[in-house]
Amino acid sequence: MNTFHFAIKLSVITEELLLTLLEADVRIIVDAEYDRLDHWVQSLDVSREKLEKMIYTVQVSRKDAEDQVGYFQREGLDVLLVRGHSAYVKEADWSISKLSRMWDTYSCTKLLGITKYVRDRMRTSRVVRDRDVLELLGYQRIKGSKLYTFLALDGVLSDAAVSYLARRSGDGRFILRNEEEISDLSTDHHLVYYIDHRDDLQYMGHFLRLLSKQSILVTQEVT
**Own/partner pairs, 83-89, CB within 8 angstroms, 24+ separation:** 83/59, 83/113, 83/114, 83/118, 84/59, 84/60, 88/61, 89/61
- Please give the pLDDT value at position 108: 94
pTM for this model (two decimals): 0.83
Residue 149 in contact with residue 174, Cβ under 8 Å? yes
- Please give the pLDDT value at position 171: 59
3-class secondary structure, 9? strand
The identity of residue 220, as a single letter, is: Q
- What integer best gives the mean pLDDT of the chain? 80
3-class secondary structure, 191? strand
- Please give the pLDDT value at position 47: 94
C-alpha 91 chain-centroid distance: 21
Mean pLDDT check: name the lowest of 82-91, 119-128, 175-184.
82-91
Question: Could you tell me the pLDDT band of residue 150, with boundaries at 50, 70 and 90?
Answer: confident
Mean pLDDT score, 124-139: 91
Q: Closest Cα partner for 152 from 120, 178, 130?
A: 178
pLDDT over threshold 60, residue 220: no
Residue 185 in contact with residue 176, Cβ under 8 Å? yes
Question: Could you tell me the pLDDT band of residue 81, with boundaries at 50, 70 and 90?
Answer: very high
Question: Could you tell me the pLDDT band of residue 8, with boundaries at 50, 70 and 90?
Answer: confident
Q: Closest Cα partner for 73 from 85, 61, 81?
A: 81
pLDDT tens-digit readout, 23-54: 877 888 998 878 899 999 999 999 999 999 99
Distance CA 183, CA 38 (A): 35
